[in-house]
Structures are given as structure tokens and as C-alpha cells.
Amino acid sequence: MKNNKKSGSIDKKMITLAIKDSFKKLSPKVQINNLVMFLVYVCAILTSALFVLSLFGIKDAPSGYIFGIAVILWFTVLFANFAEAIAEGRGKAQADSLRAAKKDVLAHKIQSLDKKDKQESISSALLKKGDLVYINVGEQVPADGEVVEGAASVDESAITGESAPVIREAGGDRSAVTGGTTVISDWLVIEVTSEVGESFLDKMIAMVEGSARKKTPNEIALQIFLLALTVIFILVTASLYSFSVFSSKQAGIVNPISITSLIALLVCLAPTTIGALLSSIGIAGMSRLNQANVLAMSGRAIEAAGDVDILMLDKTGTITLGNRQASEFMPVDGHSIEELADAAQLSSLPDETPEGRSIVVLAKEKFNIRERKLNELKMEFVPFSALTRMSGVNIKDSEIRKGAADSMKEYVQNFGEIYSEECDLAVQKIAKLGGTPLVVSKDHIIIGVIYLKDIVKSGVKEKFADMRKMGIKTIMITGDNPLTAAAIAAEAGVDDFLAEATPEGKLTMIRDFQAKGHLVAMTGDGTNDAPALAQADVAVAMNTGTQAAKEAGNMVDLDSSPTKLIEIVRIGKQLLMTRGSLTTFSIANDLAKYFAIIPALFIGIYPELTALNIMRLHSAQSAVFAAIIYNALVIIALIPLALKGVKYREVPAGKLLSQNLLVYGLGGIITPFIFVKLIDMLIVAIGLA
């Protein structure tokens, strides 16, 4: 989806569609889903009915006043609909780009692996779970599946947005293929793993479009709280009406409080701002996750990511680069470091592995030993073998070898040479540092050791420090021995590590943390990760991983980047921060609007309330107009913040709460005083009051 970043932005077409959807959402069936805004919807209908009655002489208030209030209330409902529609529009744009990759193609179904030449061409829409399909070079993968035979390069750009092809092969943790991708080399036989309409792409489209979005527990809890506040304000407003009738009779005056004004008061005091934006905040949070190329299987998972306090991270590819790099030459037994560097580079010139390339570069950088041309040296390359666990070159009458310490020890001893104690000490030193020793020999004599270091990614230590500030504990998971794991954990700055990790060990650790009340997040890609992924609160499966891993997780990272877990946690926290901040702002707004309307409405009955009319609004009608206009416009003003989210900062939760209360709480109190007064002055200036 990265190739459709425009889909995450807002353009004129999206705004036009959102305006149309705003009117479509005026259906009572849609409005009832948001009870706070449903109240505004009912109030808009009531004031419209009061306006119609006023035309027939049944006047609650001047017809123009009732009409103005009704129009503003309808706009308030439309603005709330627009906020939700614009958030949904971004998801629909992403869904449209995914639908372009989803199309029926001809699939070559086979009966068994030994009868690949007997193929039946059928539509991909007719494939069923368990069917075997042969896919040749240049053909599109017709359905989600597991590779059961063959290996090929697959272009997944239609799904992930990444142009670089990936290898998919039978066995291992890179056997899953996604419908809509294209085989660009060789061939594959896959076993279909999903029924029609239930593919990974179908789920993606449903999630980003919002049709599969369900309200999260926190969202439901907040809606119940807002509903409770609304019920309280309904009772308060009803009481105020009864009180005004009684008080006006006692004072011997006509009741100055109209039903229209009380309806406007109710709408202003109800938490309509957060009620209008609540849905769009949740949709936008999921949209941000989709833009990060992560598919959440539920909104609950995004919320859980915001509350996570334990991060379990794979070492390889997450904390370290994944490719060991040569960092030092350590000569032994009187041999010079230059001789060791020269021999190490010569043995690595034909070696195309990342480790081999790094040895060549290190020799060049440290000793200015330039790369030699292989054809001029007439070298015979001895490739690495799992049996010998070494590689090297033969140059004329000279032999250079490099390999694992035990293999090299056996190699030189077979030629009657000594494996020295100094070499053994160098090997032990490297192992204690968390590195990998490569012993180098020339003409069957050990000349030194290459220190291969598992390079910790730049910036991860700072990221983990930020996580620590937020109260999140980081745990590195690795198959390394405890000594090596401890060295890398110390360098990376993680809080703890699990060495020699097994599926049972991961599962036990997660359960132990959860039993203590923690929320745990982890990543995984293999079938052996499935039990732990199923247990974790936030489980991010790699798109390149097995079907079992993807089914066990509640999120799928389309980029298959283990570091994405940190970004997911940030997005989750930003979602919770945004919801909390706008809720604070909304409730603070209600408090300020109370001082704007209540004194102005009741001054006619109780002149003493003039002291509370600190805003000095022109009249009761102008006060109501100004407050309800502000109430509608603030929804539109806050839509960009709801969609973008409150700025994320890595600070402790207590400090973050105090900052947000200061900014959004105090801001929510001050803002209405300023803008309601300005609107009141404008109303008076243009002669509407």
C-alpha cells in the first residue's frame, strides 16, 4: 500500500465524496449508532417541527430564531457525519488500490504433485481450500496458499508497495504466498489455504474500508460515559425548564425561556464535540496503521498496542542487522596483522556473502589493501560447505582457508600443524564479546582470527531508552547462547533477554508477564512462533511468514520488518492520546459554554445573575446563537487533529497526562470564551440580534 500514499491524504475528490456521504448518513439507522449525535439529530428534527408550527401561529419563539437554531443543528449533525465520512474516505481510497490487485485469473489446478503436466484451467473464483495449483513464471498467484513444491521470485508490490521481489519456497518460514502477487521467475506449486471471499486481500479490503471495523472496548466504555453525561444534561435541562416556569410565575412575568433555547442549551452542554469525532478518531488510527503497511485484524489490537508495557523483539533483523560484519583482525603466533588482513581478503574475494564482503571492505579500509582481480590471480575458490564448515582459495601453490574454530583446528592438525593456545584464547575472547570467530590459516598454519560482530542497528539503543521512559520494558529473544545474548543485550540497551529461545520458552514468558497484569507485544514469522503469537496481546505476524503465524497474530506486517512493532506501539498510543485529549477538550468546552448561556438565559428572571455574565453577551438570543454556532464549527476545526492525531512524545504517562490536561483542558475552557464572544459581536454587527 505504500505505492498509494496519495490514498492516505485528502484531496478534492475525497472531500466531495465525504460531503455526499454526510447527507447519506442522515438516515436514522446510521444516526442511532452514535447516541450523543443521535440526540442532536432528534433536536434538529424537533426545532424543525417547531419552526413549521410557528408558521401556523403556534410560536414558541420568533420564527427566524427557531429557523436559525434548526439550521445550525442540522449543520452540526452534517459536520459530525463529514468527520466520519472523511476518515472513511481515506480507507476507501486504500481499499480501491487493493481492489485493483484483486481480479479473477485462470488457475492451473493439478490433482497431485507427481502429475503436474495434467493441468485443469479454471477461474480462480472456483478454487477451494486444499486445491493444488501450478503457477508458472509471469503468472499471477490466484489465491492465498502455501508453497508445497518449487522456489521462485515473487513480485508483491501490488500488496506491499515494495518493488523488490522476494523468494518464496517450499518448507521453512517463507512458504506463504498471497493472491494478487506475481511469480517473476521459475515456478511454484501451492496449496490453497482460503475459501473464496476469505482471502488475505479480501480481509485487507474489508479492514481498510472500515466495513469490518467494530467498536473497541475503550471506545464503547467512552460512549457509555458520554451517554451518561448526556442523560444528566437532559435531566438538568428539563429541570431548568420547570424551574423557569415556576420562577417566572412567582415573579409575575412571562416565562422568558423558550423550548427552542433549552434545546440549543442541551446540545451545547452535551459532549457533542467528542461524540462527533469519536468514530473518526478510531477510523483514522486504523488508517495510520494501514499507511504504515500493517493490517490490524481488529481495532482492539490497535488499542492494546497503546497500552502495551512489554515488548518482546527478535534479535536478528530487529535489534541487529542480521548479517555479521567483520570488525577486527586478531593475528596470533607472531604473524603480522597486515599478513592476516591480506590472507583474509584473498579468501573472501569470491565470497558473495555479507560476511565475506565485510572482510574485503575491512581490509581495504584498515590497510588500504585494494581488491584484486580474480582472473589475474588465477584463484581457485573453495566454497563453504556445511560438512567442512570452511571456505577459502588456492593460489598457485598456496592454500588459504577460513572457518569455524573447531573445523580449522581439525584441518591444521590433519596436516601435522599445531593449533596454538593463543588462537584458542582469541576465539574465547570473541565469543565472550558476543561475536563469531573465523579462524584463518595459510598453508595449513593458523595466522589469526577474524572477529565477526553482530552489528546492533544504529539508533535502537535510543529507541529502547524512549520506550523505557514510557514505562515499556524491552526483551530481546534470540537463539544465541546466554553469554553471546548478554553481550548483545548490553550493547543494544534492552532491559532483558531470553537466550536459547524455544516456542515453549516464549509462551511461558508471555504467560508469566500476563499473570502479573502486563500487556505483551511480540513479533513472529514461523509456525513455531504461532503459540506465542496467539497468547500475546499484540501479535504482529510477518507477511513473509507461514500461514499458521498469520492466523495466530492479530496484526500482519506487509513489509515483514520486525522493527515495525515499535511503530505500531507509537500509533496505538497516539490513538489513545488523541481520544483522551479531545475528550478533555470537549468536556472543558461544555463547562465554558455553561457560563456563556445559563446567565444570559436567566437574567430576565434573576437580574442578580448579571454578575455571572462575565462574557457580557448582547442578549439571550445572541448568546444561544453564538454558543450553538461555535458548537458546530469546533467540530470542523478539530477534524484535522482527529485524523492526524495528537503529536506523539516519548514521556512517562503521568507527565503526558498533565501536559494534555494543561493544553486541552485549559484550552478547552479558554477557547469558547474567546470565540463565542467574537461570534456574538459578529451577530450583533450584522443585525441578527
Q: Which position among 144, 202, 314, 557 bears the catalytic label? A: 314
Q: What is the set of domains in the chain, with CATH numbers?
A: 29-93+209-290+574-686 (no CATH), 106-197 (2.70.150.10), 294-319+457-558 (3.40.50.1000), 321-455 (3.40.1110.10)
Are 101 and 155 within 8 A, CB to CB? no
> Which are the contacts of 374, defined by CB distance < 8 A and separation ≥ 6?
349, 350
- SS3 per residue for 480-517: CCHHHHHHHHHHHCCCEEECCCCHHHHHHHHHHHHHCC
Q: How far apart are CA 420 and CA 408, in angstroms?
A: 12
In this prediction, residues 187-212 reach a mean pLDDT of 71
Taking 60 as the threshold, does the pLDDT of residue 161 lie above it? no
Residue 2 pLDDT level (bands cut at 50, 70, 90): very low
Q: Would you state the pLDDT for residue 42? A: 95
Q: How far apart are CA 481 and CA 76, in angstroms?
A: 63
Residue 132 pLDDT level (bands cut at 50, 70, 90): very high
Classified as helix, coil or strand, 614 is coil
**Strand order of the sheet with strand 398-403?**
320-331, 445-456, 436-442, 398-403, 390-395, 379-382
- Select the highest-mean-pLDDT range: 32-46, 109-123, 640-654: 32-46
Is the pLDDT higher at 170 or at 95? Answer: 170
Are 55 and 609 within 8 A, CB to CB? no
575 is in an annotated binding site: no
- Select the highest-mean-pLDDT range: 3-7, 209-213, 262-266: 262-266
The C-alpha cell 450553538 sits at 628
Taking 70 as the threshold, does the pLDDT of residue 172 lie above it? no
Q: How far apart are CA 247 and CA 496, in angstroms?
A: 69
> Which are the contacts of 428, defined by CB distance < 8 A and separation ≥ 6?
none
In this prediction, residues 268-275 reach a mean pLDDT of 89
How is residue 222 written as a grid cell? Answer: 467512552
389 is in an annotated binding site: yes
Q: Would you state the pLDDT for residue 200? A: 66
- SS3 per residue for 54-111: HHCCCCCCCHHHHHHHHHHHHHHHHHHHHHHHHHHHHHHHHHHHHHCCCCCCEEEEEC
Q: How far apart are CA 303 and CA 572, in angstroms?
A: 6
Q: What is the pLDDT of residues 439-450, one digit of tens each?
A: 999 999 999 999
384 is in an annotated binding site: yes
Worst-scoring range by mean pLDDT, 290-294, 450-454, 580-584?
Answer: 290-294
Residue 485, amino acid: A
342 is in an annotated binding site: no
Q: Quick one: how far is CA 468 from the chain centroid? A: 20
Taking 60 as the threshold, does the pLDDT of residue 103 lie above it? yes
Is the pLDDT higher at 143 or at 218? Answer: 143
Are 555 and 297 within 8 A, CB to CB? yes
Q: Would you state the pLDDT for residue 205? A: 66
In this prediction, residues 483-508 reach a mean pLDDT of 85
Residue 204 pLDDT level (bands cut at 50, 70, 90): low
Residue by residue, DSSP assigns 360-373 as HHHHHHHH--PPPP
| Alpha-carbon separation of residue 435 from 32, 188, 411, 428, 501 (angstroms) | 62, 38, 22, 10, 18
Output phi, psi for 629, to 5 deg.
-70, -45
Q: Would you state the pLDDT for residue 5? A: 41
Q: How far apart are CA 268 and CA 633, in angstroms?
A: 12
In this prediction, residues 564-591 reach a mean pLDDT of 87
Q: Would you state the pLDDT for residue 11? A: 67
Of all residues in the chain, the percent with pLDDT exceeding 70 is 85
402 is in an annotated binding site: yes
In this prediction, residues 189-201 reach a mean pLDDT of 78
Q: Radius of gyration (Cα) for the chain, nearest Å?
A: 34
Of all residues in the chain, the percent with pLDDT exceeding 90 is 20
How is residue 1 written as a grid cell? Answer: 500500500
Are 402 and 439 within 8 A, CB to CB? yes
Taking 70 as the threshold, does the pLDDT of residue 159 lie above it? no
> Which are the contacts of 583, defined by CB distance < 8 A and separation ≥ 6?
222, 271, 274
How is residue 564 written as a grid cell? Answer: 515495525
Please, what is the average pLDDT of the chain? 82
515: Cα within 13 Å, side-chain hemisphere: 6
How is residue 114 written as a grid cell? Answer: 507427481
In this prediction, residues 169-179 reach a mean pLDDT of 75
Are 478 and 499 within 8 A, CB to CB? yes
**Whether 11 is catalytic:** no
Q: Would you state the pLDDT for residue 8? A: 46
Residue 496 pLDDT level (bands cut at 50, 70, 90): very high
Q: What is the pLDDT of residues 658-682, one digit of tens each?
A: 887 788 988 888 998 899 889 989 9
Q: How far apart are CA 457 and CA 561, in angstroms?
A: 13
Partnered with residue 473 across adjacent β-strands are: 310
Q: What is the pLDDT of residues 409-466, one digit of tens each?
A: 999 999 888 888 899 999 888 887 778 889 999 999 999 999 988 778 778 888 888 8
Q: Would you state the pLDDT for residue 38? A: 94
Q: What is the pLDDT of residues 66-101, one digit of tens each?
A: 999 999 999 999 999 999 888 877 666 666 666 665
> Which are the contacts of 63, defined by CB distance < 8 A and separation ≥ 6?
51, 54, 55
355 is in an annotated binding site: yes
Q: What is the pLDDT of residues 218-235, one digit of tens each?
A: 778 888 888 898 898 899
Classified as helix, coil or strand, 279 is helix
Q: Would you state the pLDDT for residue 6? A: 41
Alpha-helix residue ranges (DSSP H) falling in 493-617: 503-515, 530-535, 547-552, 564-602
Q: Would you state the pLDDT for residue 371? A: 57
| Alpha-carbon separation of residue 245 from 256, 402, 559, 594 (angstroms) | 9, 98, 66, 20
680 is in an annotated binding site: no
- Select the highest-mean-pLDDT range: 34-48, 156-170, 492-506: 34-48
Residue by residue, DSSP assigns 300-346 as HHHHHHHH--EEEEETBTTTEEEEEEEEEEEE-TT--HHHHHHHHHH
The C-alpha cell 492494546 sits at 304
Is the pLDDT higher at 62 or at 547? Answer: 62
Query: How far apart, in Å, do the first and last CA atoms of the chain sit?
Result: 53
- Select the highest-mean-pLDDT range: 38-47, 131-140, 207-216, 523-532: 38-47
H/E run at residue 177: strand 176-177
Q: Would you state the pLDDT for residue 653? A: 64
Q: How far apart are CA 265 and CA 263, in angstroms?
A: 5
How is residue 232 written as a grid cell? Answer: 444528566
529 is in an annotated binding site: yes
Q: What is the pLDDT of residues 381-408, one digit of tens each?
A: 888 776 777 889 998 778 999 988 888 9
397 is in an annotated binding site: no
Choose among 210, 300, 200, 289: nearest CA to 547. Answer: 200
| Helix, strand, coil tally for the chain in percent (to 5) | 55, 15, 30
